[in-house]
Structure 1
Amino acid sequence: MKTTKQFRTNLRCGSCVATVEPYLNRTLGVDRWKIDVASADKTLTVDGDASTESVKDAVAQAGYQILGEIAAPSAPAVAERPADAPTATTYFPLLLLVAFLVGVVALVEVRVGDFDWGRAMGNFMGAFFLAFAFFKLLDLRGFADNYGSYDVVARRVPAYGYVYPFIELALGAAYVTGFQPAATNFATLVVMSVSSVGVIQSLLNKRKIRCACLGTVFNLPMSTVTLVEDGLMVAMAAFALIAGGHSL
C-alpha cells in the first residue's frame, strides 16, 4: 500500500541532500521524496510503499540519520507542490555543450574542405564521449552514486558506475583516432542501448531524479532529453555499422 511518511533528520543543507539523493533514489518502494532543510525538523517526506527501516538504512548509508518518524499527514505531501516542468533553460548547459561540439565538427570539415558525413559523424561522437567523460570524471564517486540510482547495470554492480566514464573516454578516443571503426560502433551500440534501458524505466515510473549525463557539475533532471541523447548515439552507431562500419 502506497503511503506518505515523514521523518525528522539531521540533513541541514543542500550538500547533505545531494549526498543522500542517490541512496534514496535506488531504494525500492520510494516513488518520490523531498527534504525541507528550512524546517525545524529537517523533514524528509517519502511517498511510496518503502518501509521505515529501508528509508533509515538509505539515509544511514549516506552518513546521516533519521531522528524519528512524524505522524503521517492527511494527504500526500509530495503531491501538494509539483515540480516545475523542465524548460530549455533547465538544459542550457547540455544544449550549449552540444552546440559547441557541432561547431567544432563543422570547423574541422571547413578546414578539410571536402565535407564527409561519415567523418563528421565520427568526430562528433568522439568529441561527445570525450566531453561527457570529462564532466563525469570531475566527481567520479558522485557520478557513480547517482548513476547507480537508475542504470540497470550499475544498480546491480556498483563498480560499473566507476568504470563507465572510462568506457566513454575509450570510445571517444577510438572515434577520434579511427581505431577499429566497426568494433567501436558495435561497442557504442551495446553500451548506449543498455544505458537507455534505465532511462526508459525511470521515465515510465515518473521518477524525479537527477540525470548523470554531465556528472554532478550540473543539476539536470531526468527527462526525455536524456533518452534522446542516448538514442542519438545508438542511432548514429547503428547507421555507421549499416553503412559499412566506418565512422571516419
Structure 2
Amino acid sequence: MLAKAPKKAVLYRMVMDKHICPYGLKAKHLLKTEGYVVEDHWLRTREETDAFKAEQGVKTTPQVFIDDTRIGGYDDTRRFFGKPVPDPKATSYRPVIAVFAVTALMALASSQAAYDSPFTLRAAEWFIAFSMAVLALLKLQNIETFSTMFLNYDLLARRFVPYGRIYPFAEAGAGILMIAGVANWISIPIALFIGTIGAVSVFKAVYLDKRELKCACVGGGSNVPLGFLSLTENLMMIAMSIWMLVTHGLTM
C-alpha cells in the first residue's frame, strides 16, 4: 500500500536581523500542528518584504499558501482550520477571573507555608488583600488610562478628578498593610472608604442608570464589562474592612 503523500504548505514570513515576526512563528507552529510539512520562506529585508507584498497584493505578512491557493495571514489560517479568532474588542471577564484565581492560590500557598494548612481564616484574609494589591498593580501600569476610564462611573472621581490617580495607591497601600497585618488604623478606614464609594458608584451606573461601560478594575486597557465582578471587588474590600475591624480593631 502506497504511503499517503504529506500535506504541504508554503509560508512567507519576516526573519530579519532585528525582527522576527511572532505571527510568522505562530503560523508555522499551527501548520505543523495540523500535520503540514512547511516550506518556510524567509523575507530577510524590508525591501524583500515590500516586494513580496506588492507582488501578492497584500498588506501584511506572514502569508500562507496551501495547494497553490493563498490562505492569508495567521488569523485567516486559523479560520481555514475552523479555529476561533479572538476579537480584541470583545468584552471578557477573563482578566478578573485570572486575578482572583491566582490570588486565591497565593493565599492558600501562604497559609500552607505559615500554618501548615491552606485552609485557615488568615488565608481568606490574604485572598482579599492579595487581590487588592494585584488589582492596584494592574491599575498602576497605566494610571492615566485607568483614571480616565474611572471617570466614566466613579462618583467621587467626577467631583474630585485627582481621586482617580489616588485610588490605585490607596488600594495598594491598604492591601499591603492588610497582608502584613499592621497599621489597621490606616488600612481599614482606607479600604472601607474606597470600597464603599466604589460599590455605590458601580451599583448606580449599572443597576440604576443601566449604563453599559467597561470596568477600570484591572486597568484602563481591559474589556471587562462593568457589573457584578466590579461590584464584587468593592464588596470584598468592605467585607475585609469590617471583618478586620471586628477581629483585630484599629491597632497599630
User: Normalized against structure 2, the TM-score is what?
Assistant: 0.58
Amino acid at match of 1:94: V
Equivalent-residue separation in structure 1 for 2:185 and 2:125 (angstroms): 12
How large is the RMSD of aligned CA atoms in angstroms?
Answer: 2.3
Report the 3-state secondary structure (helix = DSSP H, G, I; strand = E; otherwise coil) of the residue aligned with 1:155.
helix
Query: Could you tell me whether the CA contact under 8 Å between 2:175 and 2:187 is conserved in 1?
Result: no
Give the structure 1 partner of residue 128 of structure 2. Answer: 125
CA contact (8 A) 1:182 1:241 kept: no
Match of 1:189 among 189, 192, 202: 192
Partner of 2:165: 162
Q: CA deviation at 1:115?
A: 5.7
Report the Cα distance in structure 2 between the residues aligned to 1:136 and 1:115, rounded to whole angstroms: 29
Q: Deviations over 1:47-73 (max 9, x none)?
A: xxxxxxxxxxxxxxxxxxxxxxxxxxx
Q: Which runs of 4+ in 1 moved over 3 A?
A: 114-118
Question: Which protein is bigger by CA-based radius of gyration?
Answer: 2
Identity fraction in percent:
27
The residue number in structure 1 matching 2:93 is 91
Aligned mates of 1:154, 1:246 — CA distance in 2: 27
Q: CA deviation at 1:129?
A: 1.8
- Quick check: 1:106 aligned with 2:108? yes
> Residue 206 in 1 paired to residue 188 in 2?
no
Match of 1:179 among 171, 179, 182: 182
Partners of 1:186 and 1:168 lie apart in 2 by 11
Give the aligned partner of residue 144 of structure 2: 141
Q: Tell me the secondary structure at the aligned position of residue 154 of structure 1.
A: helix
Match of 1:243 in 2: 247
User: Does the CA-based 8 Å contact 1:192-1:234 persist in structure 2?
Assistant: yes
Structure with more relative contact order (C-alpha pairs < 8 Å, separation 6 or more): 1
1:225 aligns with 2:232: no
What displacement does 1:185 show?
Answer: 2.0
Asked whether the equivalents of residues 130 and 173 of structure 1 are also in contact (C-alpha less than 8 Å), the reply is yes
Post-superposition shift, 1:167? 0.7
Give the whole-Å Cα distance in 1 for the aligned partners of 2:120 and 2:156. 33
Post-superposition shift, 1:212?
0.6
Cα offset, 1:122, TM superposition: 3.3
Give the C-alpha shift of residue 118 in structure 1: 4.3
CA distance in 2, matches of 1:188, 1:174: 11
TM-score (norm 1): 0.59
Q: Deviations over 1:164-217 (max 9, x none)?
A: 111112112211222212442232112200111110110111101110101123
Per the alignment, residue 56 of structure 1 pairs with: none
Give, in whole Å, the separation in 2 of the partners of 1:172 and 1:229: 12
Contact 1:150–1:199, Cα closer than 8 Å, also in 2: yes
- Rounded to whole Å, the distance in 1 between the matches of 2:119 and 2:245 is 16
> Which 5+ residue runs of structure 1 have no aligned equivalent?
1-86
Amino acid at match of 2:183: Q
Whole-Å separation in 1 of the counterparts to 2:119 and 2:188: 18
1:158 counterpart SS class: coil
Deviations 1:118-155 (A, max 9, x none): 42233223311221111111111111111011111101
Q: Which runs of 5+ in 2 are unaligned?
A: 1-89
